[in-house]
Structure 1
Amino acid sequence: MEITTLCYIEDNGKYLMLHRTKKKNDINEGKWIAPGGHCENGESPDDCARREVLEETGLRLKTLRFRGIVTFYSKAVAGDRDELYTEEEKNPFSKDVTDYMCLFTSDDYEGTLTSCDEGTLEWIAKDRISELNLWKGDLIFFKLIDDPGQQFFSLKLTYEGDVLTEAVLDGIIIDPDDYIY
């Protein structure tokens, strides 16, 4: 299991998005996601989000808001990610992987946007987000984070390969199409 972070940075009705096109063996290759990455030893999720945003964008977050935890249950894709796990963490009877992603937002940052060695950074208008090549589950949490009244949430997304097969929000199975951004 891995703990990762994503931080959607908002400015003037746009989100800063990263088109993942440069990193080899990238499960997100070709997808648009937010800046983020894996927590390092001794880091809190907050620390990780701040570090990853700075490394990938050149922007320093002044404040950030922890919006939710997303559990990714990926069936039959673990072989593509074996280098991320120790032998003890790998289940010899399954190729399933569970990861936890801490989801943050921020609209309070400083600095100048730099280039990213993992892809291209671009400010995308909120009303164009659904036009991007995204994981289907990302559209669910886009809708959740865009709601200013949305409380902290737990979202479990089950994928078989690239196909979203189930979404569970705060313990209740939902129809992903009801939550599409």
Structure 2
Amino acid sequence: MTTKNLQIATVGGGCFWCTEAVFQEVKGVENVVSGYSGGSVPGRPTYREICSGLTGHAEVVQITFDANVISYEDILVIFMTTHDPTTLNRQGADRGTQYRSVIYYNDDKQKEVAEIVVKELGVYYEDLIVTEISKAQIFYEAEKEHQDYYKNNQAQGYCSFVITPKLMKLRKLHADKLKSA
């Protein structure tokens, strides 16, 4: 039996419901938790506070993955190609610093990989990539109703019109990296 090599990646690509749904389908991903990171206001933030845009936090997901199955680089490529990394503080209709594109690295190796992935993917975008690459900060798990949001609310309009198309893009671009075909 092979020992797992569990690692953590923390990324924000707009609304965490979208990013969570994407990574729940990726082979080697053990767990995805929606939450908040990168803010400057002390204490545990709430969704309402985050939505104000005043705390400085971004909506992020913390991904626990088995590096023996999927690499950190592959996690980042999937992340960068399933949201628009060229729009500053915005994804679709969601606007504000809480929706920024961000990669929070845990060590120098993750930072290096993030910088390489962003640079290499830059040639595929018409506009400049604005994804922030920052040292990981405290991660605050979001409230229960934000966990497994897509799985629990697929009939909701936001899920149908925003998340489902992202999942279709994931399935088209990264079929070989998914848990099931």
TM-score, normalised on structure 1?
Answer: 0.29
Higher strand share: 1
Higher helix share: 2
TM-score, normalised on structure 2?
Answer: 0.29
